Amino acid sequence: MSAHGSIIDCHVHPTAARGDGPAACAAEMLRYADRMGIEWQGLSLGPVFIQQPTEDEIVADNDFIAEMIELHPDRFFGYANLNPNLLFHSLREIDERIANGPFVGIKLWVALCCNHANVDAICERAAELRAPILQHTFFRAGGNLAGESSPADVAALASRHPEVTFIAAHAGLNWERGIRAVADQPNVCVDTCGFDPEAGFTEMAVQWLGAERVLYGSDAAGRSFASQLAKVHGADISDDDKRLILSGNMRRVLAL
């Protein structure tokens, strides 16, 4: 094993890192990842978060990530950011970014709730390419945003596409509810990222889903790698379960 550990962070946005451009951004993300023992970072949503991106904005965003991957193909992998409202463009991006490489998965944020038929079309192509789908999910207090998906939406989508692996990001934030919402859908995993290091989360996720369906992710750079790693390192679960969450499961999802 190399000097940096073997942890896979399945959910990273190279956004808030100091340093402009893909090269400087990559160097900054790797500097901190090295300190935390993180070998691989799954990238999506580059310098700018845009809720309803245009075709040009999608292309620019994915180009930024592609450049980072090209610079460090042994440290970064990518999820192609799509706006499912732009279905034909989304399918073309899948072909250009995933079928032709180097991207390995799909990132869906808050442009369109994943209960929409457009997302089914994206899933059908993802199944052919064996590409996992990282879907932002919240059960937001006071109600979700217009295009925001909940873990229940992902579970319903996943039941129609059993051959695709879905990652319900943030476990819905309101994680006690989110974990329950995906519990009966075996092709849905949750990630640990993007919410406060609230004790009990990882224990409940492992109890309800099995450690095999829990993935370490950070939501860096907006979140700290460290605060999100704490959810795994600090959980009252077995060391074997921690190893699965920190890397074993993602190796399986990506068929590494």
Min. distance of Cβ 222 from other proteins in angstroms? 6
According to CB under 8 A, which one of 24, 233, 240, 256 is a site residue for other proteins?
Answer: 233
Q: Are 11 and 219 in contact (CB under 8 A)?
A: yes
For residues 193 to 232, the per-residue mask of contacts with Zn ion, x marking binding by CB under 5 A and - elsewhere, is --------------------------x-------------
For residues 162 to 201, the per-residue mask of contacts with other proteins, x marking binding by CB under 8 A and - elsewhere, is -----------xxxx------------------xxxxxx-
Q: What is the CA radius of gyration of the chain?
A: 17
According to CB under 8 A, which one of 64, 103, 109, 139 is a site residue for other proteins?
Answer: 139
242 contributes a contact to other proteins by CB under 8 A: no
Handedness of CA 15, 211, 188, 144 (dihedral sign): negative
85 contributes a contact to other proteins by CB under 8 A: no
Please list, in sequence order, all residues whose beta carbon lies within 8 angstroms of the beta carbon of residue 1, skipping any fewer than 6 positions away.
none
Cα atoms in the Cβ-side hemisphere of radius 13 Å centred on 38: 28
Torsion of CA 48, 51, 52, 56, to 10 degrees: 10
- What number of residues does the chain have? 256
Binding positions for other proteins, rule: CB under 8 A? 16-17, 28-29, 32, 35-36, 138-142, 173-176, 195-200, 220-227, 229-231, 233-236
The contact set with Zn ion (CB under 5 A) reads 219
